[in-house]
Chain A
Amino acid sequence: MNTDNLTTAGEELSSLEKVKQGLKDIFGQTTDLAVVSVHVGQYEGLLCYLTTMTSTDFITGKIVKELSLSEDKEQLSKEETFRELEDCHFSGLKHETLQNMEDSSNKMVLGYAAIFVDGLPLVLAVDVRSLSSRSVEEPTSQNVVRGPKEGFTESADTNMSLIRRRFNNVKLRFEKFELGYMTHTAVYIAYLDGEVEEHILEQVRERLNSAYIDSLFDSGRIEDLLHSKGKSMQLFPTICNSERPDAVCSYMINKRIAVIVDGSPFVLIVPSIFTDFFKSPEDEYQWFVIGSFARYLRYFAFILSLIVPGLYIAVTSYHQELIPSILLTSIAAQREGIPFPAGIEILLMEITFEILREAGTRMPRIVGQTISIVGALVLGEAAVQAGIVSNINVIVVSLTAISGFVAPIYTFGAKVRFFRFGMIILSSLIGLYGLVLGCCLLMVQLTRIESFGVPYLSLFSKWDKRRVT
């Protein structure tokens, strides 16, 4: 730290009174500002911090104790005292020397304590940030049976340490960005140097730097910013998120970049491709046959959840000849007396299910039981008995509903649902032809997307050496 150019120091640091006034100007009447008079060596000083960003234990144990120790030293000049403080007493803590009021107040907002010495135009900012945060718990949205049970928390520091402790490797890099002109949220990108493609890294940096948003409370917000071109037309998510450190690390080994947002337990992975959304970290911890079986099952479920309702509608209302006769008669017998055409019937139940799902996620946990009883008994059983929908319809809808949740990453399933409604409408208009056109559209869309220049879905990418991932 250079203490030489004292001449550039601001007028505002010339005396403690002025400092107090300055702090008052900047912070106003906020109650969590603590301005404490202390002795720094033989001189008067001020210790300023925001009580909300630290804990009393930390301040008394680390800062005040060290300051009182410094009093006992022999007579030194102000600058020497300052250096002494910086090099000896607070050398174990992250600290910086600042020279004006604005910088120090900005640091204080981030959880630093500023130490002013009377008459010395230098400020020592010491990191005293100690925030209470949720301890590392099991992730809630991405569970595994076998595998690490740790999940990310809302604190970016904890999250980074969770990653670092899995990579005892000098190549692991964290880079800090600040987003949101109102909130100054810290955003970190983590990558393995040398593994990751430089041009992708550049793009991520550039997008984060050029981002202009007012606030950032969850990583979901910057997903949009990181999206590649044509984002409005994109129906598949191109950014994967994970709550699990082991999953994030395994992505990072595969040349991905992790984006950690302070305050969000969901870490983003860029660039993500289609297959990432079907991978669960658990697959790798098992016998590979079981792992890949599970993965293919997920693809199958994904396809099922898309086409089953459409197929049912198309086949029952347009192409009865495609069904084996025995099955056809049983379907027809069930549908006897049902007032609606198959399309309306399915749509009715699908929308009911969507409402149930939405209610189920938003509702307080204690009432959750009620929902499942109402959903299962009243809407399923009673609707069939009342003759509003047929039994086979309930089977179709519940099959699609369950299949829709198989994808390990929840956001993916959310977008797929829109497609399902599209398919239902298409196939109730023109039957199987519409369904196939819908599938075509989907495949075209899938193959068109590129996220950071990496094709989203490419079957032969493994055989191409020039390909990125």
Chain B
Amino acid sequence: MIILGILVMMVLGILLMAMLDVLVFQQPFFTVLVQLLPVYPDTSTIYMIIGAFVIAAWVNFKMTDRLKKKYGSKSKNQGGEKRDTKQS
């Protein structure tokens, strides 16, 4: 769900920016969209977006909990859970 959410927000955001660019540059929508997509010349945003999805996937599949279950010591885990329940 989190990945989906991020994807939707990405698409909506890019559409919004494309729309504004259409207004600013008076170019057809498609041209603007292609120019907006982070392929060329600056590729760094691609890494950022990939990073966003990696984080989203990490949270989505609860990697922290899984890793803890696999490698973390048992007593520590219990303590953590106990504390969590207390908070909620």
Partner-B contacts on A (CB < 8 A)? 210, 229
Q: Report A-chain residues with C-beta under 8 Å of the C-beta of B82.
A: 210
Q: Report A-chain residues with C-beta under 8 Å of the C-beta of B87.
A: 229
Question: Number of A-B pairs whose CB atoms are under 8 Å?
Answer: 3
Would you give 3 A-B contacts (Cβ < 8 Å), ordered by A? A210-B82, A229-B83, A229-B87
Per DSSP, chain B at the interface is helix
Partner-A contacts on B (CB < 8 A)? 82-83, 87
Q: Report B-chain residues with C-beta under 8 Å of the C-beta of A229.
A: 83, 87
Shortest CB-to-CB span from A169 to chain B, Å, is: 33
Complex alpha-carbon distance, A229 and B82, angstroms: 11
Complex alpha-carbon distance, A204 and B43, angstroms: 53
Complex alpha-carbon distance, A210 and B85, angstroms: 14
Closest 3 CB pairs of A and B: A229-B87, A229-B83, A210-B82
Shortest CB-to-CB span from B17 to chain A, Å, is: 26
Complex alpha-carbon distance, A229 and B87, angstroms: 8
Complex alpha-carbon distance, A210 and B83, angstroms: 11
Complex alpha-carbon distance, A229 and B81, angstroms: 11
Which residue of A has the minimal Cβ distance to B78?
A212
Complex alpha-carbon distance, A210 and B87, angstroms: 15
Which residue of B has the minimal Cβ distance to A207?
B86
Complex alpha-carbon distance, A210 and B82, angstroms: 10
Q: Report A-chain residues with C-beta under 8 Å of the C-beta of B83.
A: 229
Shortest CB-to-CB span from A256 to chain B, Å, is: 22
Complex alpha-carbon distance, A63 and B82, angstroms: 48
Shortest CB-to-CB span from A76 to chain B, Å, is: 55
Shortest CB-to-CB span from B78 to chain A, Å, is: 10
Shortest CB-to-CB span from A57 to chain B, Å, is: 46
Shortest CB-to-CB span from A219 to chain B, Å, is: 20
Q: Report B-chain residues with C-beta under 8 Å of the C-beta of A210.
A: 82
Shortest CB-to-CB span from B41 to chain A, Å, is: 23
Complex alpha-carbon distance, A229 and B84, angstroms: 8
Shortest CB-to-CB span from A152 to chain B, Å, is: 30
Which residue of B has the minimal Cβ distance to A231?
B83
Shortest CB-to-CB span from A181 to chain B, Å, is: 14
Shortest CB-to-CB span from A26 to chain B, Å, is: 30
Which residue of A has the minimal Cβ distance to B75?
A212
